[in-house]
């Protein structure tokens, strides 16, 4: 699998070079040249939400964070790359997606045609099957995807990717392209061990060195902090990674109910403690994003980042 990803990356790099040489971006599609375009495009904050174990609240947390940011007036893109329990469309009570990014990869539709509008103006991009099939793409398809992305004139402030659990291909692919990786764990010991195993693989194989932890379904803040301490200790002792505690979400019947009524609790009960916990996490995360950007200067947009990272690594 890792080999696959390396091959993928090598192919993308080759494509980027070919593309540069051929001046493709200036060609028939009359998109602006890469650098000019990058300097004009708003660069969104990006994060992948993941976990070692399934059913720990990734989708609920992702959706509620999206709502929190949208309510602050930010433009949010939610990429649904999870095939877990409750998919984003179910949680949001919108029609199940008819198309996925696969249709864009195979040049049948544009990103605009595949994207769905959700509540509070958020945009959802169904991606699961598309990403799973990414390693099977031809060079032409990859090239075409890059052009689709160039031409997708969407000005997102925040991009959240619900990646699914475990060391799936989705997780591997997206962690290369995002700024931050959020790990969700519950106090359940198997969830904690699986979270550790996930960080270990992402660190050893994908150079991920920073993770943001959210503890879900803790009895109280003290229990959440215990989970954090346990994970931070092993992360520090056995891996060279930094783990930030960004907050916790209480066990709350309102959340289970929100799945049944298909309306996020941040919309139906904005004042409830559980919604306030999402608000707190959204605020902490935004602070981390901004600090990081301040340190590192401009970030590069997402899929493009995957390409440019590879180019950078090959030059060093």
Ligand X SMILES: Nc1ncnc2c1ncn2[C@@H]1O[C@H](COP(=O)(O)OP(=O)(O)O)[C@@H](O)[C@H]1O
Helix extents (H) in 29-110? 34-40, 58-71, 88-92, 101-105
Q: How far is the CB of 56 from ligand X (least distance, A)?
A: 4
Whichever of 82 and 212 has its CB closer to Mg ion, that residue is 82
Per the listing, tokens 């891996």 go with 239
Whichever of 226 and 251 has its CB closer to ligand X, that residue is 251
- For the CA atoms of 40, 176, 226, 289, what is the dihedral angle to 10 degrees? -10
Whichever of 32 and 55 has its CB closer to ligand X, that residue is 55
Contact call for residue 163 and Mg ion (CB under 5 A)? no
d(CA 101, CA 176): 18
d(CA 292, CA 287): 9
State phi, psi for 29 to the nearest 5 degrees.
-85, -5
State which of positions 54-93 bind ligand X (CB under 6 A): 54-60, 82, 84-86
Whichever of 237 and 260 has its CB closer to Mg ion, that residue is 260
Could you tell which of ligand X, Mg ion, none binds residue 227, using a CB distance below 5 to 8 A set by kind? none
Query: Would you say 187 and 226 are in contact if contact means Cβ atoms under 8 Å apart?
Result: yes
State which of positions 233-252 bind ligand X (CB under 6 A): 249, 251-252
The sign one gets for the Cα dihedral 209, 214, 217, 223 is positive
Could you tell which of Mg ion, ligand X, none binds residue 251, using a CB distance below 5 to 8 A set by kind? ligand X
237's tokens? 């002792």
Taking CB under 6 A as the criterion, the residue among 51, 100, 163, 170 binding ligand X is 51
State which of positions 215-234 bind ligand X (CB under 6 A): 216-217
d(CA 125, CA 115): 5
- For the CA atoms of 92, 93, 94, 97, what is the dihedral angle to 10 degrees? 80
d(CA 68, CA 156): 15
Whichever of 59 and 266 has its CB closer to Mg ion, that residue is 59
The size of the interface with ligand X (CB under 6 A), counted in residues, is 20
Could you tell which of ligand X, Mg ion, none binds residue 55, using a CB distance below 5 to 8 A set by kind? ligand X
State which of positions 51-70 bind Mg ion (CB under 5 A): 58-59
Contact call for residue 82 and Mg ion (CB under 5 A)? yes
Do you know the residue count of the chain?
316
Q: How many CB atoms lie under 10 A from the CB of residue 26?
A: 13
Sole window of 139-147, 229-237, 240-248, 253-261 interacting with ligand X (rule: CB under 6 A): 253-261
Could you tell which of ligand X, Mg ion, none binds residue 255, using a CB distance below 5 to 8 A set by kind? ligand X
Could you tell which of Mg ion, ligand X, none binds residue 259, using a CB distance below 5 to 8 A set by kind? ligand X
Q: What is the DSSP string of 212-268?
A: EEEEEEESSHHHHHHHHHHHHHHHHHHS--EEEEEEEEE--HHHHHHHHHT--HHHH
The size of the interface with Mg ion (CB under 5 A), counted in residues, is 4
Contact call for residue 104 and ligand X (CB under 6 A)? no
The end-to-end CA distance of the chain, in Å, is 25
Contact call for residue 105 and ligand X (CB under 6 A)? no
State which of positions 273-312 bind ligand X (CB under 6 A): none
Q: What residue ranges bind Mg ion (CB under 5 A)?
A: 58-59, 82, 84
Q: What residue ranges bind ligand X (CB under 6 A)?
A: 51, 54-60, 82, 84-86, 216-217, 249, 251-252, 255-256, 259
């Amino acid at each position: 699998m890792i080999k696959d990803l390396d091959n993928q990356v090598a192919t993308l790099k080759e494509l980027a070079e070919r593309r540069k040489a051929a001046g493709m971006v200036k060609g028939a599609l009359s998109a602006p040249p890469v650098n000019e375009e990058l300097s004009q495009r708003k660069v969104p904050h990006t994060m992948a939400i993941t976990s070692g174990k399934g059913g720990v609240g990734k989708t609920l947390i992702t959706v509620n964070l999206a709502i929190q940011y949208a309510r602050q007036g930010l433009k949010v893109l939610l990429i649904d790359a999870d095939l877990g329990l409750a998919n984003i469309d179910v949680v949001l009570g919108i029609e199940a997606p008819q198309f996925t990014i696969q249709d864009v990869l195979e040049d049948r539709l544009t990103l605009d045609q595949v994207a769905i509008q959700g509540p509070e103006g958020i945009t959802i991009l169904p991606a699961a099957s598309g990403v799973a099939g990414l390693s099977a793409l031809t060079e032409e398809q990859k090239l075409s995807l890059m052009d689709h992305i160039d031409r997708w004139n969407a000005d997102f402030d925040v991009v959240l990717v619900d990646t699914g659990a475990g060391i799936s291909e989705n997780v591997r692919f997206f962690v290369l392209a995002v700024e931050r990786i959020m790990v969700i764990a519950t106090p359940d010991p198997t969830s904690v061990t699986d979270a550790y195993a996930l960080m270990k693989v992402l660190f050893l194989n994908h150079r991920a060195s920073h993770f943001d932890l959210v503890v879900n379904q803790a009895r109280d803040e003290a229990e959440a902090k215990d989970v954090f301490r346990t994970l931070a200790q092993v992360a520090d002792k056995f891996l060279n990674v930094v783990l930030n505690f960004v907050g916790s979400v209480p066990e709350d019947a309102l959340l289970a109910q929100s799945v049944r009524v298909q309306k996020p609790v941040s919309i139906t009960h904005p004042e409830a403690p559980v919604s306030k916990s999402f608000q707190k996490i959204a605020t902490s995360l935004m602070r981390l994003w901004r600090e990081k950007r301040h340190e590192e200067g401009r970030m590069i947009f997402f899929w493009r980042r995957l390409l440019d990272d590879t180019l950078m690594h090959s030059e060093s």
